[in-house]
Chain A
Amino acid sequence: MKAHEIMRRDLSSVEVDTPIAEVIYLMEQSGLASLPVVDEEGVLVGIISERDLIRAALPGYLEMLHSASFLPSLNQLSQRLKEMASEPVSKYMHSDVISVRPEDEDLQIADTLIRNELKQLPVVDEEGHLVGVIRRIDLLYRLV
């Protein structure tokens, strides 16, 4: 099975200059935990996830969560997110995006998802345009 047969043809994405407040709003409304970031031509240039936002707001916070037995106050996180709200997503996104092509095989996709511990992979055409997304669950659903 090839990537274009598995992928969700959902181009939900944000642009590099989209403010963080808009990114959070879009994640909340769409129910997506991460969003591809595209340039004005629709070429994939990054990925922004909830995890990236928390890490940016409170460096070390995620690591602390693993060892702490209770949650500290969220005031600091809230304050920092408010400061970040008007900043562009390009400041916090991952630019080293791992992606696959529509003609890539399922085995290669599974390998990429597992090796890189990814929940989803963007699919891009030969010019780098975002054409879809493959979630781990999409692959599992097709394989079962």
Chain B
Amino acid sequence: MRKLPVAGALGAALAAALIAVSLSPGSSHREAPNIMLDPSADNTDTYAFTANDAPDKLTVVANWVPGGNPANGPNFFRFDDRARYYISIDNTGDGKPDIRYRFVFKTKVSNTSYRQSLINVQSIDDPRLLQSQRYSIVRETYTNGKPNKPRTIASNLPVAPSNSGPKSFPNYSKVAGEAIKVIGNSKYFAGQRDDAFFIDLGAAFDNINLRLLTGSTGLGTDTQADTSIQTITMQVPESDVTRDHKPVAGPDADNATVGVWASTERRKLQVTNARFDSNKGARGSWVQVSRLGTPLINELFVPSGQKDAFNKSTPDTDNARIKKYLLTPEFARQINALPGELLTNEVGLPIKLPVKLNVPETDRTDLVETFLTGMPGLNQIDKTDPLPTDTLKLNMGVAPARTPNRFGILGGDRAGFPNGRRLEDDATDIFVQLVAGFFKDNKISAGDGVDQNDKPFLDTFPYQAAPTSGFEQKVGRRQEPPHLPTPPGDNPQIPILPQLPPLRLPIGPQLPIGPTVP
């Protein structure tokens, strides 16, 4: 009986042999794609912070459509006209949205061509721009969970086009800059930007490829370099989002903290409802297909069989839905297993890291606190009985840091992740160190070895850098230069190893994260 797994495997190989006969020249039966990659609805990252140049405002950067390769034309990158994009704010701490900004897009396509533009586009209204998108903003508010009448803030706003190159856009920054719209005391921007996220995804999509000797010492490869995303960036007065409609007096004010997340909704259909016809403006109900508050929660904590359900759910259900996964995180076990799993390097020599990482695997109330309820004295919305919800909780009363520390709270910088999230925050490293037990006296200097974005951020709205043009684009990788170990997770018991080639992990976590060797 014990032999049967082997038998099963070989039997499967047998079946392979049986059906691997030369394929029939096919026929026209439908083979609709079933790959569920759905970039136009996929939330990639959400940021919420207080900007240096706008200390009395809440700035939210919500990104969609991952991995945009600028040279991937002639399809230009866009939002889905038939989807609804949301930025939601919870100011009471119940995980239900109190204010939602809804963004709806409309594509204008010239009938004559499917190119995005002719050459020499000078402005965002230039008729040489053949394909472009416009959008409208609706602000929904809720009182005790009941929707009030939504208010249209603006409509027919231009979306910054995809940067296809200097021939099409001799001055892209100017054209894209015209997509920044000031409405009252608020600013809005939608369109293509350089992806602010930086990480060494390594060969997570090829073979899990751990780059040893990275982490706090650089040398990681930013696999997101040069890739672009579609962003919606908004900057609204604090009084627009606080529970009492007043500005925040200070970090200890009752209204100081809000929870922010972004989501996407698509239309549900009745499979056999012949009456449905989108031309007639008939309404189908909407269903949320993606949501994102805290980075990496869905990726690293939620088991794969629950991911679709998580994307469909709302933060008020997180207490029942995902808290348990944070209390005993699988990812902690994976980190612990890392040293033992290092099997061979390229030349086939077995290598084992002479370390024990001692990551606590159970009773991780610290993780629930940092990621779901907010940290006491810092970013809890409801300070008496905080409910675990996956929202990005920002205390707007904390003054922005002049020189942000990429480790955020872990580096003593109270204006950074997990108090909200800034573009500069090294989410991957912070995340790994938190899960490794930073608040459980197990400080490990681990990370992916990528410390900053490939392009500097802007000092002013919309903060994320202009996208690399399709013309200039190099293959999207940038290697972090080596540097001395940086705090905060100093862990002197890990010895320095000699220079080694990249190691391959057998079964790795979704993110390749090297136990760091300072």
Answer yes or no: do A and B interact. Answer: no
Q: B residues bordering A, Cβ < 8 Å?
A: none
Q: Which residues of A are in contact with B by a Cβ distance under 8 Å?
A: none
